[in-house]
Structure formats: structure tokens, C-alpha cells
Amino acid sequence: MVNLASHQTKKVSAEQMDMLFEFTRKHYVEYYDVQCELVDHLANAIEERWQMQPDLGFNEALHFEFKKFGIFGFTGIVEQRQGALTKKYGNLTWAYLKEYLRLPKILLTLLLVVLAYKLGRFNMIVYSVLLSGVVMLGIVKLIILNVKYRRKVKKTGKKWLYETLIMRSTGFMVAPYQILYHVYRENPSALLMWIMSALFIIFTLYIYITLYLIPSKAEEHLLKTYPEYNM
């Protein structure tokens, strides 16, 4: 009788998967979601090699596969994976943004522009205070997100590329306020006031989307894609 067990393909065990994660960390793969992509690639490559060399040990198989990356190690594929994830997460972010360019939310946006215009024509001081309040709320929320993220990284030891991208996307949050301030303080005309009001509302939506909506959507996406992710 043929021993079918001897012909079964060897699989990377859970313990060996942990070893692959540790291996990627030692070779300067910083983000956990990128580590997941790379570990999956290595595990598949090792199992394919075992099909040809079933007696090869795990460390030897890993060594052979790592040599394929050349003298720069994981640098090339890390950049490739980060680029792919950046594009993927960018597409997700744009999908969330487009929701506010469709009915009925676009009608609410236009109504807010009209209200901002009337407020600006009625009292520029109140207009300025309201805009400053939006900026301050954004800054406070950004600080909270950063503190929460740093604590989670310290607790779990895992950094996520998507979360880092979110933090970077808010880096120029104050810049629109500076532009608005220097323009509308010059007693703007009716046309300029309409433009400024539209920018005001767009800026307010930008704050809401990047600091409130996208982080919550990011959590949902990461929990669905990576069960290990916990906020």
C-alpha cells in the first residue's frame, strides 16, 4: 500500500509564521500590514521550494528565499508593498470622499456654503471666530489621534501603514486657514466672499473626513483585513 503521507506537501506551521514575522522585523520591515504581505510571500515561496526539496529544513529554505532579494534584502519589495498599500488606501480614502460629492450630501454642502456666505457678509468677526474654532477642533482631534496611536503602538508593538498615512494626510491642516485668513481680512467683495465661503466649507469637510470619518473607516477596514488589528 502506498504511503500517501510521505507525498503530502509540507506547510509552514503557526510557529514558523511567527518566526517569519520576527525575521522581517529584524530586517527593518517597520509596518505590520507590510509585514503581513511579506510573510505571506515568504511562506508561499518556502512551501513551493518544499515541493521540490521536501527534506530541506525551514531555516535553509528561508535562507534560499531571502537570497533572492539580493544585497539590499527586503528594501525593494518593502518599497513596492508600501507603494501598493499606499495606492490601495488612497483609493479607499477617495471612495469615502466621493460620498460627499453625491446627492443628498452635496445639497447639504451647498446649503452650508450659502449660510457661511451670509454669516461672512453679516459679521466677519463671528465668521473668523467660527473658522478658528473649526481649526482648533481639528488640532485637538489630531492630538488625540496621535496620542491614541502612540499608546497602541507601545502596547502592541505593531505599527500600521494606513494609520501613518492618515497622520501624514493631516500634516498641512492649518495651511488652508492661513490662506483664508490673509484673504478675507482684506474686506472681500461679494464674489470673493462666495469663493471664501466655499473654501471654508470644503476645509471644514476636510477636517471632518480626515480626522473623524476616515479613521473610523480605517479601523473597520483593518479589522476586516487583519484580525490581529485591535484599537
Q: Quick check: is 112 in a domain?
A: yes
Maximum Cα interatomic distance, the chain, rounded to a whole number of Å: 94
Q: Quick check: is 57 in a domain?
A: yes
Note whether 45 and 131 are same-domain residues: no
| Structural domain count of the chain | 2
Instruction: Give yes or no for a contact between 229 and 223, defined as CB atoms under 8 angstroms apart.
Output: yes
* pLDDT tens for the chain, residues 1 to 231: 444 444 466 889 999 999 999 999 888 888 888 888 889 989 999 999 999 888 889 999 999 888 888 777 788 877 887 787 778 777 877 777 788 778 888 898 899 999 988 887 887 778 778 877 887 888 888 888 888 888 888 888 888 877 777 777 655 565 555 656 655 556 677 888 888 888 888 888 878 877 888 787 777 777 777 766 665
Instruction: Read off the C-alpha cell for 109.
Output: 454642502
Note whether 122 and 207 are same-domain residues: yes
Q: Quick check: is 117 in a domain?
A: yes
Q: What is the sign, positive or negative, of the torsion defined by CA atoms of 188, 190, 192, 194?
A: positive
What range defines the domain where residue 43 resides? Answer: 11-76
Which pLDDT belongs to residue 152?
84
What distance in Å separates the CA atoms of residue 105 and residue 84, rounded to the nearest whole number?
A: 31
Instruction: Give yes or no for a contact between 166 and 146, defined as CB atoms under 8 angstroms apart.
Output: no
Tell me, what DSSP letter sits at residue 102? S
